[in-house]
Amino acid sequence: MPTSRRRILLVAPSLRFLGGQAVQARRLRDRLAEVPGITVDILPVDPVLPGPLAALQRIKYVRTIVTSIAYVASLVRTVPRYDVVQAFSASYWSFLLAPVPAMLVGRLFGKRVLVNYRSGEAPDHLARWGWHAIPLLRLAHEIVVPSGYLVQVFGKFGLRARSILNFLELDRVPYRRRTTLAPKFLSNRNFEAHYNVAQVLEAFATIQRTHPDASLVVVGDGPLRASLHARAAELQLRNVTFTGPVKPMEMGAHYDAADIYLNTPLIDNMPNSVIESFAAGLPVVTSDAGGIPWIVRDGENGVLIEAGDADALARGALGLLADPARALALADRARAEALETYTWNAVRPEWLAVYGATDPIAPATPSREVTVGAAT
């Protein structure tokens, strides 16, 4: 039976390394803290060691060992004080190093264990690492994912999952209705190979041949930083600004300044940047990787192109510039969807139902997607 009181521990990356898991964990923590009867805290999977021990975290390989020891120790100290342990999860080694210890310690102390799996790499992860990943995922009492796409992926491997969508803080995303369009573009993804930011640069080179005054702001950072800067120089691009990493609370200004959002991943799930663009009134041209077709419908609330096709991306962007009325119609529908679907009020009853907590405002509602399968 649901109870009116729950102590919830969110186990997630810290905001020292900007990413979707960290952002959604903080949003969820802040909103849950407003619910009567809920106590919620975040335990970082990447704790900073105190004093001189911090120097060890600057040494490759040693960093992983000492951080993991500190993380597990913090779990053993902290988990007994909570009713629910919710571990945010990516794939591969990150899965083993972050959510798995939280699940094991949660089970050890008899807590309700949730895995909030968020990676678009799930199909490959479960196919190649499934011999151990699938049994470990069954340690969770429930698997929560942010899209129907991942529900289907998990179902193929005999795992039941519940979909609860990402949500936005709308007051942090300035809205502008773009009745006219300028060739001002924005990209906001980390510089990882699977996010394929180089394709944005290649498409922009084509766009600049038609619109010499076009500008591009590239937000993000990561291991491909040097190669992306080199690619921009090789393509002789003009008016390209690499901002480096930007804090979530500062991204609103970049969405507001742009007129078209470009997104080019080869692997993805439910990118926050796309639904933030929806909320900002920013027309979206995106690849169809992974779960993106679950949120972007071509010709309805955005432009969807085949992943890896830079020419199609450029055509999609140029098509919007040539037909601003169409771009406005897409953006209006996307904005309406953001207001209805990607808000705390929309997902609050679903989260409280997962925690087994009573919602004093609205009754719990069934999840959007649940497959048949086994998760114990």
In sign, the C-alpha dihedral spanning 313, 293, 176, 257 is: negative
369 band by pLDDT with thresholds 50, 70 and 90? very low
Identity of residue 118: R
Instruction: Tell me which of 145 and 356 has the higher pLDDT.
Output: 145
Question: Which pLDDT score is estimated for 61?
Answer: 66
Does residue 317 register a pLDDT over 80? yes
For residue 126, what pLDDT band results from cuts at 50, 70 and 90?
very high
How many C-beta atoms lie closer than 10 Å to residue 342's C-beta? 22
Number of domains, the chain: 2
Q: Mark whether 328 and 192 lie in a shared domain.
A: yes
Average pLDDT over residues 93-102: 94
32 and 54, same domain (yes or no)? yes
Query: Cβ(330)–Cβ(301) under 8 Å?
Result: yes
242 shares a domain with 213: yes
Separation CA 339–CA 175 (nearest Å): 11
Find the radius of gyration of the CA atoms of the chain.
Answer: 21
55 and 202 inside one domain:
no
- Give pLDDT, residue 223: 94
The pTM of the full predicted model, rounded to 2 decimals, is: 0.88
Lowest mean per-residue pLDDT among 1-10, 103-112, 313-322: 1-10
Domain match, 161 and 205 both: no
225 and 209 within one domain: yes
Average pLDDT for 339-352: 95
My answer on whether 136 and 12 are in the same domain is yes
Distance of CA 258 to the CA centre of its chain: 21
Of 39-53, 59-73, 237-251, 320-334, the range with the highest mean pLDDT is: 320-334
Domain match, 202 and 317 both: yes
- Shared domain for 150 and 193, answered yes or no, is no
Q: Which residue has the higher pLDDT, 205 or 68?
A: 205
Give the mean pLDDT of 351-368: 67
In this predicted model, what pLDDT tens digit does every residue of 190-219 receive, in sequence order? 999 999 999 999 999 999 999 999 999 999
Reading the block at residue 120, the tokens are 């678009």
Q: Which domain holds residue 217?
A: 171-341
| pLDDT greater than 90 at residue 101 | yes
Max distance between CA atoms of the chain, in angstroms, equals 63
pLDDT score of 79 more than 80: yes
Mean pLDDT lowest for which of 3-12, 99-108, 146-155, 260-269? 3-12
Say what the pLDDT of residue 118 is: 92
User: Does 36 lie in the same domain as 176?
Assistant: no
In a domain, 240, yes or no: yes
Whether residues 161 and 182 fall in one domain: no
Q: Are residues 231 and 131 both part of a single domain? A: no
Domain assignment of residue 360, yes or no: no
Confidence of residue 166 (pLDDT cuts 50, 70, 90): very high
Closest CA to 101 of 11, 14, 10: 11
Is there a domain that residue 373 lies in? no
CA torsion through residues 297, 195, 280, 88, sign = positive
- What is the C-alpha separation between 270 and 260, in angstroms, rounded? 19
Tokens 């993805």, residue? 268
CATH of the domain at 241: 3.40.50.2000
Question: In which band, very low, low, confident or very high, does the pLDDT at 373 lie, cut at 50, 70 and 90?
Answer: very low
pLDDT at 102 over 70: yes
Q: Which of 264, 259, 261, 220 is nearest to 242 (CA)?
A: 220
Query: Does residue 361 register a pLDDT over 90?
Result: no
Q: Does residue 367 have a pLDDT over 60?
A: no
pLDDT at 50 over 80: no
8 — pLDDT class (breaks 50, 70, 90): very high
Phi, psi of 239 (to 5 degrees): 60, 40
Rounded to an integer, the average pLDDT of 31-57 is 83
Whether the predicted pLDDT of 133 surpasses 80: yes
pLDDT above 70 as % of the chain: 90
369 is a domain residue = no
Q: What is the pLDDT of residue 238?
A: 96
